[in-house]
Amino acid sequence: MLWGGRFKEKLNSKALKFSSSLKYDINLLSEDIEGSIAQAEMLATVNIISNDEKDKIVFGLKKIEDEWNNNTWSPDPDNYEDVHSAIESRLFELIGDAAGKLHTGRSRNDQIATDLALWVRKNSSLISELLSTFQKTLLEISSGNTETLIPGYTHFQRAQPISLAFHLLAYIEMLERDKSRFEFVGQSVNQSPLGSGAMAGSTLPLDRNLTSKKLGFTEPTGNALDSVSNRDFILDFLNACSIGMMHLSRFSEELVIWSTSEWNFIKLSDSFTTGSSLMPQKKNPDMAELIRGKTGRVYGNYIAFISTMKSLPLSYNRDLQEDKEPLFDSFATYSDSLEIINGMLLSAEFNKSRFIEELKGDFSLATDLADWIVQKQVPFREAHKIVGNLVQKLESEGRNFKSVTLSDLKSISSVFDETAMECLQMETALRRKKTYGSPNPAIVKNRIEFWKKKLS
Ligand code: ARG
């Protein structure tokens, strides 16, 4: 117990259970110990504790970490309020009275803020690594598929032909933005809250620069009141997880669609699909569905915690303890989802020739034909109408672009000549794209090279 002095009675056992965060803040054990070691070393440097006491404290803290990692010590959540009290109590058992000096000039308020900053910094970079791994997988698939034609959609109606590589590269761009959000979160925790005390600093000569340096921060935070109240970085982390999950969810939806027999475009491996308990023939894309489904929970975590933060007066309030479950849950869900979707893609097979014939038989090159007309100095609105009339004529005859002849074109407008027929060649459709950022295989290959360099 960290605070018994002014109390006559013990905390009600139900109240202790209700308020204890140990079940989940035990996740912060290594950060808590790291922060405490820095604190003890600083206290010795400014002569608040002796070197001998510091050595004992550091020895005890390291032993606790070992005990936890080797499963030889695990604190009972019904006995402790949080990870900080559990560790301090174990430290007393291990080293005796010197343990009582560790908390000098420190409050659990600056302690937890420091633990969380360290945790968020570590796990932001872990997520960035997972994002890079997934980008590399997509890049690898893209490399062999710059000419693999698939339909591109708007309004989920066929719009224009694109390549599989072009489609996957769109996700690589999104994942890069996801990474930059985590980089921002990492930078937003580069100041050390340690030494802010409960909310107004300390009368002791604590060296905040020293603890900041020891913990790898760039400087101490500038205002003690803000330091113990600030959870913006947790909201930023939760938001980055939400947007990241939204991207994985959109991709998952596409994987679900691509794996239907109607699409027959992707074959997910047995190791990332499941069967039906009733229908023997089924092979279900459950992993993709679950990523899509779990996205809701990750959004919920953000909403839950930003709602908790609303209207809290400065500075620390116990409400802030509600930051942890959403934080750990969003991290676990998002990092697992990234690994799963990566495994799913690595082991999937694409039916590369699936769409070529089908695309020849639809109207996806209508825009290219209109572009051809525009080059004859016809206003685009007019060109749009001419091609619209052609589509209408062919459709009413039960035909499509596959069977179109020059005389069909000429019957609609005298602007056409035989070079217009080239626009309807599906095989060369991508190569005719001229703009930067388009699916032209040469342009896509350049972009692949760009990403290869960036991700290496
Ligand atoms: N478990 C607490 C939290 O997560 C630690 C800080 C407690 N501070 C306090 N004054 N009760 O916020």
Specify whether 174 is located in the same domain as 42: no
Which residue, among 377, 366, 360, has the nearest Cα to 412 in the 3D structure?
366
The active-site residue, picked from 19, 74, 269, 276, is: 276
CA dist 92 and 103 (Å) reads 12
pLDDT band at residue 6 under the 50/70/90 scheme = confident
pLDDT (mean) for 386-398:
95
| 191-192/219-220 β-pairing | parallel
Reply yes or no on whether 20 is catalytic.
no
What is the residue whose two structure tokens read 């633990």? 115
Which atom in ligand 1 lies closest to the alpha carbon of residue 84? 5
411 occurs within a structural domain: yes
In a domain, 394, yes or no: yes
Query: Which of 17, 24, 82 has most ligand 1 atoms within 8 Å of CB, for mutation?
Result: 82
- Ligand 1 pocket, residue 114 CB under 6 Å: no
Query: What are the strands, taking DSSP E only, across 234-357?
Result: 266-267, 349-350
> What pLDDT is attached to residue 1?
66
pLDDT digits (tens, 9 = 90+) for 90-108: 999 999 999 999 999 999 9
Judgement on whether residues 331 and 253 belong to the same structural domain of the protein: yes
Specify the amino acid at residue 264. Answer: N
For residues 163 and 364, is the Cβ–Cβ distance under 8 A? no
Query: Domain check: are 432 and 325 in the same one?
Result: no
- Residue 348 has φ and ψ, to the nearest 5°, of -85, 155
Residue 413 in contact with ligand 1 by CB distance below 6 A: no
Same domain, 184 and 298: yes
SS3 at position 150:
strand
321 lines ligand 1 (CB under 6 A): yes
212 is annotated as an active-site residue: no
Centre of ligand 1 to C-alpha 108, Å, is 6
Q: What is the pLDDT of residue 282?
A: 79
Domain boundary among 50, 81, 104: 104
Separation of alpha carbons 178 and 172, rounded Å: 10
Cα separation of 32 and 102, whole Å?
Answer: 12
Task: Indicate if ligand 1 lies below 6 Å from the C-beta of 85.
Answer: no
pLDDT in tens, 160-180: 999 999 999 999 999 999 999
Do 234 and 303 lie in one domain? The reply is yes
- Tokens 């994942």 belong to 175
Q: What is the CATH number of the domain that holds 410?
A: 1.10.40.30
Q: Which of 338, 354, 370 is the last residue of a domain?
A: 354
For residue 312 the two structure tokens come to: 């809290």
Which structural domain, as residue segments, surrounds residue 422? 357-455
Indicate which residue's Cα is closest to atom 2 of ligand 1.
Answer: 321
Identify whether residues 137 and 241 lie together within a single domain.
yes
- In 313-430, where do the E strands start and end? 349-350
pLDDT of residue 385: 96
pTM score of the predicted model: 0.95
